[in-house]
Amino acid sequence: MRLGLSISIAVVGTSLLLTAQVKDFRPVTEAMLRNPAPGDWLNWRRTDNAWGYSPLDQITRQNAQELQLAWSWSMDDTGAQEAAPLVYDGVMYLPSPRGVIQALDAATGNLIWEYRPGATAATSPSGRGGGGEQTDIPRLSQRPSNAGGDLGRGIQKTIAIFGDKIFGTTNDAHIVALNARTGKLVWDTKVADDRLGYEYTAGPIVVRGKVIAGITGCSRYKDDVCFITGHDAETGKELWRTSTIARPGEPGGDTWGDLPLTFRAGGDAWITGSYDAATNLVYWGTAQAKPWARAVRGTDGAALYTNSTLALDPDTGKMKWFYQHLPGESHDMDEVFENVLVDIGGRKSLFKMGKLGILWQLDRETGAFIRATDIGYQTLVDVDPHSGKVTYRPGKVPQLGAEIDWCPSTAGFKSWRAMAYSPQTNAMYLPLSLSCEKATFGPTEKRVGGGGTGPVRRRDYKHPAAEGNLGEFQALDIRSGKTLWRHRTPSPLNTAALATAGGVVFAGDWDRHVYAYDAATGKILWQTRLPTSAQGFPVTYLARGKQYVAVPAGIGGGSWSTLLTPELAPEIRRPNGGNSLLVFALPGESSSRSTSTR
């Protein structure tokens, strides 16, 4: 009797687990992606223009001081975590390291479903392809969560939603589509051979039924180049592929001198793009050429289409225009980051900031240069204010074996931690890391499998203007180009910025702080400490009518900035783990209740 009872309970429990799904799910339409409901966070930066701005205003500069923890959730500690959650209709879709995606009730954190990629067999070494001289070490597939696995990467920054599917990219160069109701795998498309170094660290966007994603892992010499692809959202079928490197004989191909295709590396498209329905263009950034230094890669040429902003037709991948920010870049100064689309001063503009801390304003219809605003910390280049033409300052182009000294360090003032734009203040909110370095560039092996970024002997140091700090959160007025306010922190700013219509902006630092700032003045309205570094992409949303602010915390191994604190401020410590999500809200009636899953 007793035995029978427990069996029946177990059976009931199992069936509940199996049928857990998002109830009353309404497919996400193209119109919703272009104009998300105020309470939703539907694209990686909420809107397709990458503002990182929410119209929610329950949390205001008056009441932000009352914010308190509503719920929290431990994320997988199997890798670096730089998550950008999505929220749709009260459900949060949370990317975790190594391809894990979970659907949580956004009011309580209750798990609705989770997707855990099955352990795929580690691919054995293969002589074919150009992935380098193979060794006896089996390739570690980065997608599955390996027991005691390597914490270095497994990064899955962003995901996308469209129709009834969630789309993710994997570290072994696949794109996957999950059923948004159940978390079940719908399709899995292998886009490139990870044994050649290809991987994804950033997710796709969906435009007009196409899933568009940019590959990374482009630094080693191989008989292929990096690319951005478009796929059918229903099937995963690849519809187009646009190279981020100009091949010999193609337009722009002569910007690599006479280097054969094999030695044209870089152009990693490692940050998710933006889209403007009015221009019907997808805007995607590319990283610098590899190896980093001109002297190492063997050409002084501009090396198209590296370190550029590309404007692509979402249906064909055809490049409508490109703008190369730093032609022939030579120091690992990425310009790959988010494309923030703002109409201002009568111009349909695209704003972008790279590692140098120069805010570029381009005409997003034509790609024409409009303006460059240097926040004043870099020591490498001068920019012609009329043409945008970049000139390296004397002695700053590295020669093999000769030390040079410049700011920023390779961490960059700005990196993947996306800036946010508030239309209330016309300000761009910049999470910055302030450092400089002395560096000597060395040679690489010029053969298939060789190359890479090239070795660099470097010594980082604190930026002389930073008064001993490594971080800064800055509000920059994009009309005047003037700094509205800045808040310096001993450790680097470590999250994307989040701006809200309540006049409150949020960001966090390596040293576990989260700050709520008055968007207009920079006054700190509220702050708290997290289990480990603030990390990834804070978001805000409505669940059951109440505004929440979700802040990821965690270890991020995939970025230089992460290395700065142990090196330059070793007195600041954090736990070596603790990937998690912390969700804050105001106290009050509609606050989180532990109810069952939707």
Helix (H, G, I), strand (E, B) or coil at 448: coil
Q: Which is nearer to another protein, 318 or 457 (CB)?
A: 457
Q: Which is nearer to another protein, 125 or 163 (CB)?
A: 125
**CA-CA-CA-CA torsion for 374, 272, 77, 551, nearest 10 degrees?**
60
CA distance 331 to 333: 5
Helix (H) or strand (E) holding 294: helix 294-297
Q: Could you say whether residue 445 binds another protein (CB under 8 A)?
A: yes
Q: Which is nearer to another protein, 220 or 513 (CB)?
A: 220
The 37-76 contact track toward another protein, x by CB under 8 A, reads ----------------------------------------
Candidates 133-141, 336-344, 374-382, 518-526; binding stretch for another protein (CB under 8 A): 133-141
**CA-CA-CA-CA torsion for 541, 314, 102, 90, nearest 10 degrees?**
30
Helix (H, G, I), strand (E, B) or coil at 57: coil
Choosing from 457, 482, 523, 529, the residue that interacts with another protein (CB under 8 A) is 457
- Closest to 473 (Cα-Cα) out of 416, 515, 422, 443: 515
- Closest to 44 (Cα-Cα) out of 433, 337, 333, 323: 337
At closest approach, how far in Å is the CB of 140 from another protein? 5
At closest approach, how far in Å is the CB of 296 from another protein? 10
CA distance 79 to 74: 13
Q: How far is CA 386 from the centre of its chain?
A: 30
Q: Which is nearer to another protein, 454 or 502 (CB)?
A: 454
Give the CB-side neighbour count of residue 243, counting CA atoms within 13 A.
17
Candidates 14-22, 347-355, 419-427, 446-454; binding stretch for another protein (CB under 8 A): 446-454
Q: Which is nearer to another protein, 51 or 406 (CB)?
A: 406
CA distance 416 to 50: 13
Choosing from 57, 74, 139, 280, the residue that interacts with another protein (CB under 8 A) is 139
Q: Could you say whether residue 454 binds another protein (CB under 8 A)?
A: yes
List CB contacts of 13: < 8 A, sequence separation 6 or more. Answer: none
At closest approach, how far in Å is the CB of 461 from another protein? 15
Beta strand 281-285 with 274-276: parallel, antiparallel or unpaired? antiparallel
Choosing from 90, 132, 230, 536, the residue that interacts with another protein (CB under 8 A) is 132
Q: Which is nearer to another protein, 6 or 135 (CB)?
A: 135
Q: Could you say whether residue 149 binds another protein (CB under 8 A)?
A: yes
- Closest to 72 (Cα-Cα) out of 590, 510, 554, 575: 554
Structure tokens at 257: 């001198």
Choosing from 323, 506, 560, 584, the residue that interacts with another protein (CB under 8 A) is 560
At closest approach, how far in Å is the CB of 515 from another protein? 24
Structure tokens at 392: 């390296």
Choosing from 306, 453, 489, 494, the residue that interacts with another protein (CB under 8 A) is 453
Structure tokens at 363: 């005409």
Q: Could you say whether residue 140 binds another protein (CB under 8 A)?
A: yes
Q: Which is nearer to another protein, 171 or 361 (CB)?
A: 171
The 153-172 contact track toward another protein, x by CB under 8 A, reads xx----------------x-
| Lateral strand order in the sheet of 185-190 | 160-162, 165-169, 174-179, 185-190
**CA-CA-CA-CA torsion for 255, 259, 262, 267, nearest 10 degrees?**
-20
The 218-257 contact track toward another protein, x by CB under 8 A, reads -xx-------------------------------------
Q: Could you say whether residue 576 binds another protein (CB under 8 A)?
A: yes
Candidates 84-92, 140-148, 157-165, 227-235; binding stretch for another protein (CB under 8 A): 140-148
Q: Which is nearer to another protein, 390 or 564 (CB)?
A: 564
Q: Which is nearer to another protein, 453 or 500 (CB)?
A: 453
List CB contacts of 543: < 8 A, sequence separation 6 or more. Answer: 39, 87, 90, 105, 106, 107, 592
Q: Which is nearer to another protein, 220 or 352 (CB)?
A: 220
- Please give the C-alpha separations between residue 148 and each of 79, 95, 122, 172, 339, in angstroms, as whole numbers: 10, 20, 15, 19, 37
Q: Which is nearer to another protein, 288 or 540 (CB)?
A: 288
Q: Which residue has the tokens 């991020």?
A: 556
Candidates 110-118, 159-167, 211-219, 346-354; binding stretch for another protein (CB under 8 A): 211-219
Residues that bind another protein (CB under 8 A): 79-80, 125, 132-135, 137-140, 142, 148-154, 171, 197, 216-217, 219-220, 268, 442-445, 449-450, 452-457, 555-560, 562-563, 566-567, 570, 576-577
